[in-house]
Structure 1
Amino acid sequence: MKRLSYLVIILALTCTGISTAQAQKVDDILTSYFEITGGLSNWKNLKSMKMTGKMLQGGLEFPATMSQKYPNKFRMDIDIQGKKIIQAYDGKEGWMINPLAQITEPKVLTAEEVKEMEDNQMEDEFIDYKSKGHAVALDGEENIEGTDCFKVKLTKKSGDIEYHFFDKDNNVPIMVRTFAKTGPTEGQPVETFMSDYDAVGDFMLPFSMTTKFQGQTVMQIVVDSYDLNATLDDSVFALPK
């Protein structure tokens, strides 16, 4: 019995050592990620962003802009043959205009509809993740379309889970796997691939973001320009009165 107890203690200490090593490893990955893409202090000082580019979907191309402001204000504008589609969230309330769906006046979104938009945090989720109530763990490795990656599991304070994949060669993020929160696809994985990184001021940012569902491309955003710490009034995100 004493020998068994001793073995249990040794096993427990070994597992604790592995857990500690993995925690150190994942923090090293995140530290390297921030360093190589602009530096942690620069990321912490990034309080707004405006991306201008185009959305590619179904073989068609549409001008698009996306605006974000700390902490979680978000707006997307898409021009489809002269008709402007807008989705926005001011941190409390979501709204949309979509002439293609006969929504020509601002419509307040339901709590269910706004679930996905509430996650559009301006600040990177990995910055001070512990103080935000999130948990991070290294969940092994995975090959993503030919690139060997570290697989990092992010468990948010809300309980939502995401998987972030970092290129093993340089710790640059190349894919995020999230899970749909609403509709008939609720719970199913949605993958967003980031590529075509280039310098923007002190940062290295992706100029292509491709969303896939069940292996099929649903949408691609191609960025023409970034405006970092752009002047964005709160009224940009607020429901028009």
Structure 2
Amino acid sequence: MKLFSALGLLVWLAIPSHSYADELITTPLLDASEIINKNISARGGLEAWQKIQTMVWIGHIESAHAPIAKMPFVLEMKRPNKTRFEIKAQNQKSVRIFDGNQGWKMRPTSSGKPDLQQYTNEELRFARDEPSIGGLLMGLQSNAADVTLDGVEDVAGQQAYRLSIKLPSGVTHHVWVDTHSFLDIKYDREFINKLGQSVMVPVFNRNYQSMGGLQVPLLIETGEGATEPPDKLLIEKVLLNPPLEENIFAKPSVPQRRNAVTVNAVAEERPEDVR
């Protein structure tokens, strides 16, 4: 579930100085807990999100690194921290699964037999720190994270509070919350590049839409985009609380067989929850 590249940052001088100053003057002085509470309220409220035990996103990925222009994907999520991410390209599937403790990745090979591998230690660390359903801020009450407010910054023309969130694992994330809408519009996450180096990559949440009263971003862009277009995850359908069997989050067999949500099944099984 790692999409990667980026949106170019706006140059500070390109923003009219008077409007920038006005934004700083009118930005309310809030502490970190007030910002988080306002974000949770803007997203639909903690109680409403806690009722969502499973969620499915269906859409496609656009990336300069992809073998085709649009790669269909299905992302299945189940509390507390289970995910299954399946991508299809050129009639072949790649799958990444995390059951809350262990993870597996399976990809096609030229021999026709899928290659199945366990997550590396680094991948497990990333997966265990991944935000649960609703995002990082929504789950702060349950993971004892240490949160501080760093200040107010410009994010592509929008003023945003920058929060530093230190997780119990010791990893620190930054999240930017819009000062007007209080939606989280950007966060950074750690990746290991081709050289094996740890790098922080920005992720932008865009095009929030109401799904059963919950605000969900339908466009997620990853990376800065200075030298190439950002990677995009476009969510076309959202399914709330579909029945997801436990075995779809288990170690897959080779060849893989499973009973999980597919694009067609989502539209047919619970059309009232698809947006």
Note whether the superposition's TM-score is higher than 0.5: yes
* 2:107 matches 1:95: no
Q: The residue matched to 1:157 in structure 2 has which SS?
A: coil
Structure 2: runs of 5 or more not aligned: 1-27, 254-275
What is the aligned partner in structure 1 of residue 157 from structure 2? 146
* 2:81 matches 1:72: yes
Q: The residue matched to 1:60 in structure 2 has which SS?
A: coil
Q: The residue matched to 2:114 in structure 1 has which SS?
A: strand
* 2:46 matches 1:46: no
Whole-Å separation in 1 of the counterparts to 2:205 and 2:109: 29
CA contact (8 A) 1:141 1:149 kept: yes
Deviations 1:169-205 (A, max 9, x none): 1111110012335763633221110111111001011
Percentage of pairs with the same residue = 22
Counterpart amino acid of residue 136 in structure 1: V
Q: CA distance change for structure 1 residues 28 and 90 in 2, over 3 Å: closer, same or farther? A: same
1:178 to 185, 189, 198: 189
1:218 positional shift:
4.5
1:48 positional shift:
1.3
After superposing the two structures, state which structure 1 stretch, 217-226 or 117-126, moved more.
117-126
Structure 1: runs of 5 or more not aligned: 1-21
CA contact (8 A) 1:115 1:181 kept: no
What is the aligned partner in structure 1 of residue 238 from structure 2? 226
* 2:236 matches 1:236: no
What is the aligned partner in structure 2 of residue 115 from structure 1? 125
Whole-Å separation in 2 of the counterparts to 1:115 and 1:23: 35
Greater C-alpha Rg: 1
* Structure with the higher strand share, 1 or 2: 1
Whole-Å separation in 1 of the counterparts to 2:57 and 2:81: 16
1:114 positional shift:
2.8
Counterpart amino acid of residue 33 in structure 1: N
Whole-Å separation in 2 of the counterparts to 1:48 and 1:23: 36
Counterpart amino acid of residue 151 in structure 2: G
CA contact (8 A) 1:176 1:193 kept: yes
Q: The residue matched to 1:112 in structure 2 has which SS?
A: helix
What is the aligned partner in structure 2 of residue 28 from structure 1? 34
1:23 positional shift:
11
Whole-Å separation in 2 of the counterparts to 1:118 and 1:213: 25
What is the aligned partner in structure 1 of residue 198 from structure 2? 187
Whole-Å separation in 1 of the counterparts to 2:101 and 2:193: 19
When normalised by structure 1's length, the TM-score is 0.82
CA-atom RMSD, angstroms?
2.4
Counterpart amino acid of residue 205 in structure 2: M
Whole-Å separation in 2 of the counterparts to 1:205 and 1:156: 23
What is the aligned partner in structure 1 of residue 15 from structure 2? none
Whole-Å separation in 1 of the counterparts to 2:230 and 2:166: 25
2:43 to 23, 37, 42: 37
CA contact (8 A) 1:210 1:217 kept: no
- Count residues in correspondence: 220
Whole-Å separation in 1 of the counterparts to 2:210 and 2:41: 13
What is the aligned partner in structure 2 of residue 203 from structure 1? 214
1:95 positional shift:
0.8
1:101 positional shift:
7.8
When normalised by structure 2's length, the TM-score is 0.73
2:93 to 50, 67, 84: 84
CA contact (8 A) 1:64 1:79 kept: yes
